[in-house]
Structure 1
Amino acid sequence: MSDIKKNVLVSFKEYLLIIVGLVSYVLGWVIFLIPNNLVGGGVTGISSIIQYATGIPIGYSYFVLNLVLLIAALFVLGKGFGGKTVFAIFFTAIGMNLGQEYLPSDIIQPLAIENGKLMCTIMGAILAGFGMGMTISQGGSTGGTDIIALIVNKYRNVSPGKMILWMDVFIILSSMLVPSYTSDGSLVNWSDKITTVVYGFIYIVIISTVIDLYLAGSKQSVQLFVLSPKYKEIADAITGDFHRGVTVLDGKGWYTQHSVQVVMVITRKTDLNLLLKCINSIDSNAFISVSSVTGVYGKGFDTIKFRKTDKK
């Protein structure tokens, strides 16, 4: 397979996963949060406050407010990030409006209205967090405060989920200062606003936790030691098919007193099953040891980030 075809397949996979994540994010809002006049964080939270106050569909204000942050992301995070995020913003803005307009009420009624606001807060946060985590893991963003979080994360070892959490607190609290109206046109009273703020805090705690859990899982690495007489074929397959560096170590089996070669490789946990299948197809009797590693830094993995200090 040529490099061009490989790049096309990689890009197709990334955008496909981004679409899946965005659908999850949109459904979390359209089904569970918006019908209950619930407020979240980020630009989506601001846009929801605008919709509750003015009736302007969330998709329009969501798109407009993201433009400034998108320009900043293009300069700091590069064109690759910007392209995916432009796609994500368009998709989310259109999805929010189409979802509210065309999603049947007989679906929303039993899922959202009848289950109560607390359950809807939890379900909406889980769906939105899963979708946002999947989108970020593929180099994109749903826009808003997660763009800021990724910009900061580029230079500091700061969890994106924690960054989003603290930025969203202000947005949730600000919802109390803006008059809100329900779908039937009635004004939301102060007691309901306070309840909405509490649910908003629950939402941002859950969504930040889900984002961190998803990103931790997608970035987790594993270390493999493989003992096999076909170590050359295995090493060639790993470097050729998975584009991972391989180290061949000289060893000695103490029981047999025979010299052996040990293939060592570190890869993402998401590639583990395919890697094991590859090794098994070459040598079904290969001895394989798999262990999790707490951190891997260098080319193809994470980058060590230090806090910048002034030189004396």
Structure 2
Amino acid sequence: MKQTQKDFLGKITLAIAGMLIFSAGINFFIVPADLYNGGMLGISQLIRTVLVKYLHLFSGSTDIAGIINMIFNIPLCFIAWHYVSRSFFVRTLICVISQTIFLSFLPIPSTPLVNDTLTASIIGGIVAGSGIGIALRAGGSSGGLDIIGMYFTKRFKDFSVGRISLCVNAVIYGICAVLFGVQTTIYCIIYSAVSMLMTDRAHTQNINTEVLIFTKNNPVKIMDYIVKDFNRDATWWEARGGYTEGKTYMVMAVLSKYECAHLRRELRQIDEHAFIVEKDGIGIGGKYEKHL
């Protein structure tokens, strides 16, 4: 088996494991506490509650929220296939299917494992957020707003993924406040905040990295790769080596840690003699959009 195939299978396995951890956090802590997720899954959970508790259309121990979420993701996967990338589509489809299976078949406790709702929201956020972070770090995607974010980020350079997520979650938790009361909404927001914090800690896309590349040729090709593949800007200039006093070129950009890993692999193809310096965790001000 080729190394690229091994890497792909390893990442897919890790992404599926992340979906399992996420689903365990949802089914073991969030659903028994009658709390709700954000994003597309949160919309699916609200629809499930209306269908099951208010319209009495479904019964049984299986949570249909995962199935509803899968239905919503079918047209979104079509968008991923045609307008984002085939590899992103494959990774998203595998993650969405595995998430649906885990959410549908992981047993939901008849009584909450944790009686205190605040504790359940925190533990659920830690487990679910860690799972999503692991999946994202492996290059996976849970679909939903991830697909929408990737689509609009490719089409509009100034598009903010964070803003659309904030708007959707505000609508979801606003509905929760009307249907279930303010207290439930507060616990949902606490869960969401903890979950996002854990996702950020595990997801390398949220780590800003200053990149400095030294190359004796092809600075324009390196810069073109950064601009076209990452939708980032870059700067290059001519320099001179201190030891040999030979002409060299420097390319500077600010990327995410996740993008840096892809850049290192591509750099070996463009110029095997080039080397790269990375500085993680830098502070950035001004107009700099984070990517998924």
Q: Aligned residue for 1:16?
A: 13
Task: Tell me whether 89-98 or 151-160 shows the greater mean CA deviation.
Answer: 151-160
Aligned residue type for 1:36: A
Quick check: 1:18–1:88 contact (8 Å CA) kept in 2?
yes
Could you tell me which residue of structure 2 aligns to residue 62 of structure 1?
Answer: 69
Residue 157 of structure 2: aligned partner: 156
Change (3 A) 1:200 1:221: same
Q: Percent identity?
A: 23
| Superposed displacement of residue 51, structure 1 | 2.9
Could you list the per-position Cα deviations for residues 201-258 of structure 1 after superposition, in whole angstroms to 9, with x for gaps in the alignment?
2233333344344435665547699xxxxxxxxxxxxxxxxxxxxxx97334xxxxx9
Larger radius of gyration: 1
Contact preservation (8 Å) 1:38, 1:200:
yes
1:238 is matched with: none
Task: Kindly indicate whether the alpha-carbon contact (under 8 Å) linking 1:164 and 1:208 is maintained by their aligned counterparts in 2.
Answer: no
Which residue of 242, 260, 275 corresponds with 1:251?
242
Gaps of 5+ in 2: 53-57, 214-238, 265-276
**Structure 2 counterpart of 1:25, from 22, 25, 28:** 22
* One-letter identity of the residue aligned with 2:165: I
Partner of 1:200 in structure 2? 188
The aligned residue for residue 146 of structure 2 is 146
Once residues 191 and 162 of structure 2 are traced to their aligned partners in structure 1, the CA distance between those partners, rounded to angstroms, is 12
Which aligned pairs between 1:280-291 and structure 2 lie closer than 5 A?
291=279
Aligned residues of 1:28 and 1:124 also touching (Cα < 8 A): yes
Q: CA RMSD in A?
A: 4.0
- Give the distance between the partners of 2:212 and 2:148, measured in 1 at CA: 36
Count of residues in correspondence between the two structures: 235
Inter-partner Cα distance in structure 2 for 1:24 and 1:153: 28
Deviations 1:68-118 (A, max 9, x none): 2222222221221111111111101110111126xxx49x74xx433x111
Of the candidates 28, 47, 51, which is equivalent to residue 44 of structure 2? 47
Deviations 1:258-292 (A, max 9, x none): 99xx9x999986899xx9xxxxxxxxxxxxx9744
- Name the amino acid aligned to 2:172: I
For the residues of structure 1 that align with 2:50 and 2:27, how far apart are their CA atoms?
Answer: 17
User: Unaligned regions of 5+ residues in structure 1, if any?
Assistant: 179-189, 226-247, 253-257, 276-288, 296-303, 306-312
Give the partner amino acid of 1:200.
C
Deviations 1:145-181 (A, max 9, x none): 2322232333335564554233211112223555xxx
Amino acid at match of 1:201: I
Task: Give the alignment of 1:1-312 within 5 angstroms.
Answer: 5-55=2-52, 56=58, 57=63, 58-100=65-107, 105=109, 109=112, 112-114=113-115, 116-154=116-154, 155-156=156-157, 160-176=161-177, 193-216=181-204, 220-221=208-209, 250-252=241-243, 291-292=279-280, 294=282
Say if 1:97 and 1:211 are closer, same or farther in 2 by CA, change over 3 A: same
> Aligned partner of 1:50: which letter?
I
- Aligned equivalents of 2:48, 2:89: Cα separation in 1: 27
Q: Structure 2 CA distance, aligned partners of 1:52 and 1:67?
A: 21
Matching residue's letter, 2:124: G
**How many Å apart are 1:6 and its aligned residue?**
2.1
* CA distance, structure 2, for counterparts of residue 170 and residue 269 of structure 1: 32
Per-residue deviation, 1:11: 0.7
The change in CA–CA distance for 1:171 and 1:156 in structure 2 (over 3 A counts) is farther
Q: Which amino acid aligns with 2:241?
A: D
Change (3 A) 1:70 1:47: same
Partner of 1:310: none
Read off the aligned partner of 1:72 and give its amino acid letter: I
Any idea what SS the aligned residue of 2:241 has? Answer: strand
The Cα shift of 1:198 comes to: 1.6
Deviation digits for residues 101-148 of structure 1 (CA, Å, limit 9, x no counterpart): 6xxx49x74xx433x111221222232223223333444321222322
